[in-house]
Amino acid sequence: MAALPFSTTCRHSSSPLHHNSKSSFIGFSQRNNIWQLFVITKSISRKSIRKLSVKNVASDEKQELKDPLAKRDTFYEFIPDSASIASSIKFHAEFTTPFSPEKFELNKAFFATAESVRDSLIINWNATNDYYERKNVKLAYYMSMEYLQGRALLNAIGNLQLLGPYAEALTKLGHNLEDVANKEPDAALGNGGLGRLASCFLDSLATLNYPAWGYGLRYKYGLFKQHITRDGQVEVAENWLEMGNPWEILRNDVTYPVKFYGEVIPGPNGSKQWVGGENILAVAYDVPIPGYKTRTTINLRLWSTKVSQEEFDLQAFNSGDHAKAYAVLKNAEKICYVLYPGDESIEGKTLRLKQQYTLCSASLQDIIARFEKRSGKRVNWDTLPDKVVVQMNDTHPTLCIPELIRILMDVKGLSWEKAWNITKRTVAYTNHTILPEALEKWSLTLLQDLLPRHVEIIRMIDEELIHEIISEYGIDDLDLFQQRLKKMRILENIELPSSVMELLSTEETSTVDPVKVIDVEGNDVMANEKEEKKDENDDDDDDEEEEVGEEGKEEEYDENLSIEEDTDNKVEVRFKVDPKLPMMVRMANLCVAGGFSVNGVAAIHSKIVKDEVFNEFYELWPEKFQNKTNGVTPRRWIRFCNPDLSKIITKWIGTEDWVTDLEKLAILRKFADNEDLQLEWIEAKRRNKIKVASFLKDKTGYVVNPSAMFDVQVKRIHEYKRQLLNIMGIVYRYKRMKELSAEERKEMFVPRVCIFGGKAFATYVQAKRIVKFITDVGATINRDPEIGDLLKVVFVPDYNVSVAEMLIPGSELSQHISTAGMEASGTSNMKFSMNGCILIGTLDGANVEIREEVGEDNFFLFGARA
C-alpha cells in the first residue's frame, strides 16, 4: 500500500472512539452473589506486549511514545489471569449477552467470552486512537467492498497472548475453548481473495504499528450460504447477524447523509449545488482489529443504511397500505442487504452502484471530518495529502475520486484546479485483475441518472486527461491519437469535449494545403492545382494581389470557410459516437488517472498491467506503477490454525519471532534432513488429516481414509481457475482405474482424496454447472465398491475462512492451475505452502514467486505460460 511520510506534530484531542472512560481492564468477581468491579493485579511482562509506536511509512522508522503509557494507563501494568477472566465471562453471561440467564450453553458462552475479550480490545483501541491524535500522524484509509474476516475470537485472544488463560477460564466454567470458538459464525462481509487480502492487510497493519483504518459495508445477508443438493448449488441468505455481533459497536452519533438522483443547479461564485433526489443515512459500526503482541488496535468502520423514522408513512400504514408505509425504509436498508447483488437487471445494477457510492461518500465525509477535527480552527487543505491516503482495493471504490472532488469544491469551496490537485495526491489504486469483465464499466446513462454531479466531475477529469495526452504527444498523427484515446479515455463512445474538438479542428485546418481555382479554356470544368512556390520577385506578387480586387477576396474567403467546414466534418467523422454501442464510464481508467499510485499484486501481474492492460498509461506516467505482491497473515494461517506445526517450527528455530518475520523460516533448511524433525512433521500432518477426515464426514457424510493423499482445490468457482480441468482429470483417472484389475489398480495408483470447495456466483450459470458436475462425479465414484478408498471426490459446501483453516493444515497437494496470465496473485497458494503442502500450478500470479522461493524441485509446474 502506497503512502507518504506523516508529520509528528503533536495535537491534543479526544479520540472519536473513546468511551469517556479512564478505567483499566475491568473484570468482575462474585462475592455474596453481588457482582463487584475489580482491577486485575497480575504483572505483565514488558517483553511480551510492545508499547504503542508508529511506523513512518517512508523510512520504516519507529517513534516510541515519550511519556510511557504505564504512567497513565494501569492496564499496561496488568494482564488478566484465568480467575479474573472467568469472572468477567460470568458477568457478561449475566448482564450483556442476548440470552436468558437460566443456562450457560455454548452459544451464550461464546457471546460472553467475546464480550470479555472486547473489553480488553476497547482499552487498547482507545489508547491507539488517542495516541494517533496526539501525534497527528498520517493515516492510511483502506477502502474495500469486502472483508473476508473469518472468526474473530481465537484470533483476538491469540493476538492478545491470552489463549492459555481463556482456555483455563472456560474449562473452569464447564466448556472447551475450541467448542466455544466453533459457535462463532464467519462474518459474511466478503467472498474471495479480494476480501481476504483486505482482512490480512488490517491484521498486518496493526501488528506492524502502521496508522490505518478500514472502511466497508455491513452486509446483513452476506453473499450467500451455499447448500449442495442433487440439483447442484442452492443459495440461501447468510444468517451471521441472527444472534447479533459481539465485536461491533454501533455509533449512533456517527451518521452521514448520502444522496442519489436529484439535479445540479448553479451555486454562488460559480459553484454547483446538488439538490433534491433521494436521501438516506449511513450509520457507523466499529470493529476493533488487534495487532499481534502489540497494544496497537486499529478500526474497521462498517456502514449500514437507513432513513429517519419520519419517513415511515404512518397514515398509509393505518389505512392498510403497509407496503407503501415502509417502502422508503426498505429502499434504504436494502443497500446493505447483500454483497454483490445480481446485476443482470437495471435494478441490480442500480443497487450495486448505490452500494459503491454509499461506501465512498460516507467514508470520505468521515475522513474529511476527522481531518478537520485534527486540523483545528484553521484548515489547510493543501496538507490533506500529507495526513490522508485513500487506498482503493480494486475498482469498486472508484467513486472516491469524483466524490472527494465534489466535497472539496461544492462543500468546502475549493476551486476545480485545487480540488483536482489534492485528489490526485491523496488517492491510490490496487488493481486485482486483468479480466475485461472485472475492469468495471458503468453505463453513463445510469450514472447520469443516479449521480448527476459526479458525471459532471468525471467529464472534467476526462477532459483534463485528454489535454495531458495532447500536451505529451501532440496531435500531428491523428490516427495514433485516436488509438490512444480508445485505450485511455475514461468515457467510452462519448463525444470529445468541445475544447478538444476546437484544438483538433485548428490542427487539421493548418495542415490543409492552399488551392487555386483555375478556369480551363473557358469551360465549366474547374481544376484544383496546388499553389506553386512564390516567385522570387515580390513586386510581381504584390501587383497580382492588387489586381484581384474586392470580388476576388470574397471568393478567397468563401473558399477558406468551406475548408474549415470540411475539416470540422472530417474531425467529427473520425471521432464520432457509434449510436449502436453503449456510452460507458471506464472505472479502471478513472482510477489510474485520478490516483498517485497504481500497483499490481504479483510480479507477473504487475508486468502485465504495465505491458498490456495499462500500457499507454504506463508510458505516460511510469512513476505511478509499482508491484506489491499479496501476502497473508502468518498469525491466522499458521500460528492459530495449525498449532502442532507452529510448535515444531518454534522448537527447531529456537524462537517464536517467525510469527512476525517469516524470513526466519529459512533457518529450518539446515534441519531438512534431520529424521527427528521429519518424524515430528509427519506426525503433525497426520493429526491434522484426522481432523479433516472427521470434518468431511460431519459436513458431507463421506468417510475418507486419513492415510490417503489429500489433493485440494478450494477457491471461487470460475472457468479461468479451471476446476473443470481438475475434475475432468479425475474422471480420466477413474476410467483408467476401472479398466484395470484390483491388483493393477493398487500397484499403479496412490490412494487419493480429491477435495473441492468454493462458491459459484448466483448468476454465473457455467460455474454452477461445474459445481453440479463435481458433485455428480463424486456421488458416482464414492459409491463404487471396486474403487473403495483408492479414489474419493468430496465437495465441501459453503467454503469460507473457517473451512479453510480446517482443510489447509491437513492438505498434501494443492491445485493452483488457473490459465496463465489470468490470476492476479492468489493467496491460498501462500497459505498451503506455509503449512507444508506441495503445490501443482501454472506460472501465474504469486505461483511464480513461490516457485522461486521453494525451488523448482519443490513445485509441480503445469500448463502453458502467460
Distance, CA of 385 to CA of 494 (rounded, Å): 32
Question: What is the SS3 assignment for 483?
Answer: helix
How many alpha carbons fall within 13 Å on the CB side of residue 459? 18
Q: How many residues does the chain have?
A: 866
CA dihedral 111, 117, 118, 124 (to 10 degrees): 180
Question: What is the SS3 assignment for 64?
Answer: strand
Beta partners for 301? 215, 286
Question: What is the SS3 assignment for 516?
Answer: strand
Cell numbers describing residue 328 = 422508503
Question: What is the SS3 assignment for 294?
Answer: strand
Distance, CA of 148 to CA of 426 (rounded, Å): 26
Cell numbers describing residue 366 = 468521515
What type of residue sits at position 688? N
Mutual angle of helices 765-782 and 723-738, in 10-degree steps: 20
Nearest to 84 by CA among 159, 156, 169: 169
Beta partners for 509? none
CB atoms within 10 A of CB 135: 20
Are 597 and 624 in contact by the 8 Å Cβ rule? The answer is: yes
Distance, CA of 151 to CA of 373 (rounded, Å): 34
Residues annotated as catalytic are 432, 715-716, 721, 827, 831
Question: What is the SS3 assignment for 449?
Answer: helix
For 426, phi then psi, to 5°, come to -110, -30
CA distances to 301, 356, 374, 408, 420 from 403, rounded to whole Å, are 19, 11, 21, 9, 11
Nearest to 716 by CA among 193, 146, 150, 342: 193
What type of residue sits at position 650? T
Distance, CA of 637 to CA of 802 (rounded, Å): 11
| DSSP, res 383 | G
Are 125 and 251 in contact by the 8 Å Cβ rule? The answer is: no
Number of helical (H) and strand (E) elements in the chain, helices listed first: 30, 30
- List CB contacts of 586: < 8 A, sequence separation 6 or more: 439, 440, 441, 489, 490, 491, 492
Are 629 and 825 in contact by the 8 Å Cβ rule? The answer is: yes
Distance, CA of 194 to CA of 216 (rounded, Å): 13
In order, the DSSP letters of 136-172 are T--EEEEE-S-------HHHHHHHTT-HHHHHHHHHH
At residue 759's C-alpha, the angle toward residues 758 and 762, to 5°, is: 165
Distance, CA of 290 to CA of 269 (rounded, Å): 47
Distance, CA of 448 to CA of 456 (rounded, Å): 9
Give me the residue label for grid cell 450509520: 283
Question: What is the SS3 assignment for 626?
Answer: strand
CA distances to 513, 514, 516, 630 from 535, rounded to whole Å, are 18, 16, 16, 71
Cell numbers describing residue 623 = 512513476
Mutual angle of helices 82-95 and 106-135, in 10-degree steps: 110
Nearest to 588 by CA among 721, 382, 394: 394
